[in-house]
Amino acid sequence: MSGMTAPKGAFDVLPPDSARFLAVRDTLTAPLRRAGYGYVETPVFEHTEVFSRGVGESTDVVTKEMYTFDDRGGRSLTLRPELTAGLVRAFIEHRLHTGALPVKLWTVGSAFRYERPQAGRYRHFTQVDMEALGVDDPALDAEVVALGVQGFRDLGLTDFELLLTSLGDATCRPQYRELLVAHLEKLDLDEETRRRAEINPLRVLDDKRPEVQAQLDDAPLMVDHLSDSTRAHYDAVRQHLTDLGVTWTEAPRLVRGLDYYTKTTFEFVHHGLGAQSAIGGGGRYDGLSAALGGPDVSGIGYAVGVDRTLLAVQAEGLDVAASAGVQAFVVPLGAEAKRLAVRLVGQLRAAGVSADTVYGDLRLKGAMKAADRSGATHAVVVGERDLADGVGQLKDLRTGEQRAVPVGELFQALKDVVTA
C-alpha cells in the first residue's frame, strides 16, 4: 500500500483542522495586503541554478536538502526549498526594477526539503513569504519586521520573541571574515565543518553541536565589527522599530541558514515549540539580485512557516478558526420538499449566506443530526404536511424554538435571522 499513502515527511491538511490552517495563513497575510504588497505566484520548481546561486553553495539546503531532478529535456530542475530566490528571479525576468520602487510582493505556497522529519519539521511545508525590493532604507527594514510581528499578534500569540542582529555588508564583512577565519583555524573542528568554514565561515557560528559551541565562546561577532555606515543603518532600524512599538532581543550569533543575508537579519522564535522553535525569519539580502544575474539592487523580506505557526497557536491554546461550517441548514422530508430545499440553498448561497442541506435519503432524526453537525444556527424543516399548508418551520437550533413561515417568505426570513 506504500504508493497509496502520503510520502514520508509530507502530510494532508483535512477538515476540520484545515479551518485553523486557513485562519493562520490568512491572518499572517492580511497585514501584507493592508501595507500595499502585491500577490504573486511563481512556479513550484525552478532551474536548479536559481537555488544553487541564490540560496548559496555552502548551505545545507543546497548541499543536502534539495529535491533535484532532470526533466525529459535533460534540464536540471529543483522543487523550491524556499520562496525568495524564485521571487527575485521573477523580479529580474520581468524587469520590475524599471518601475516604481520599492517593489513590494508577497506569496504563500509549498516548499520542499529533504530533511529528517520530526515535530515541526516536514519535507513538504507551507510558507508565507514577502519581499520589498529595490530600496535600501532602514525604515523599510523596520516595516518588514513589524509586519511579521503584526501577523503573530493578530493571531493572539504572546509567547514569541523577535531576535535581531546585523550581518554587515561588503564594506565590513571581508575584514570580519578574516578575523573569524583566524579564530576558527585555532579550533578543533572536523573535516566537513572546516570545508563549510572555507565557503562561509559564518555558518560555523550556527553549528548546534555542543562540542563546537563550547569552542566559540570568545569568537569575534559581526555586530562588534560593523563599518560606520552599517552601524548607522542598524541604529536607524532599531529606532524605527522602537517607534513602531516592536521589542526585540539582540542576537549577535544569529546566522540564518541561507547565504544571501546582509545587514538587518532577524528570526521569530516561539517558546512553546521545543527544538524547532523558529516560526519565521528573514533579513536584507543586498547581493541576491546581482547573484542571479539581475541589477545590483537591494531587497529585504521574510518567510513564516504556516505549519509551525499553527503549532505555536496550538501550544498557546488559542482558538483561531473562524467557525467552520454553515449559517443556515434546510431539512426536506419527501421528494417535493427536496426541490424546495435545493432551490432555497441555492438562493441563500447566491445572496452570500453559507447554507447546506442533506443529500441521500435521511429520515427526520438523521437529517436533524446533520443540521446540528453543520454548525448552523438556524434550520428550515419542510415536511409533506408543511408543504400542503404552504409553510416551512423556521427553527433556532440553539434554543429549539420554531415558527411556521410561508414558503414564499422562507428565503428572506432565514437570511434575516442568520445575518442579524
**Is 165 assigned to a binding site?**
no
**Is 127 assigned to a binding site?**
yes
**Is 261 assigned to a binding site?**
yes
Largest CA distance in the chain: 94
CA angle 417, 418, 420 (to 5 degrees): 65
**Is 83 assigned to a binding site?**
yes
The sign of the CA dihedral 201, 170, 53, 146 is: positive
Query: Euclidean distance between the first and final Cα of the chain, in Å?
Result: 51
**Is 121 assigned to a binding site?**
no
What distance in Å separates the CA atoms of residue 374 and residue 369, rounded to the nearest whole number? 9
- Going from the C-alpha of 201 to that of each of 6, 120, 176, 278, 297, the distances in angstroms are 38, 28, 10, 22, 25
**Is 113 assigned to a binding site?**
yes
β-sheet with 45-47: strand ranges across: 45-47, 76-79, 68-70
User: Which phi-psi region, left, alpha or beta, contains residue 74 (left: φ > 0; alpha: ψ -120 to 50)?
Assistant: left
**Is 314 assigned to a binding site?**
no
Which is it for strands 76-79 and 45-47: parallel, antiparallel or unpaired?
Answer: antiparallel
**Is 80 assigned to a binding site?**
no
**Is 173 assigned to a binding site?**
no
- Going from the C-alpha of 220 to that of each of 194, 227, 254, 326, 413, the distances in angstroms are 17, 15, 13, 59, 72
Q: Within its chain, how far is the Cα of 177 from the centroid? A: 33
Mark the binding-site residues for L-histidine, compressed into ranges: 82-84, 113, 127, 131, 256, 260-261
Mark the binding-site residues, compressed into ranges: 82-84, 113, 127, 131, 256, 260-261
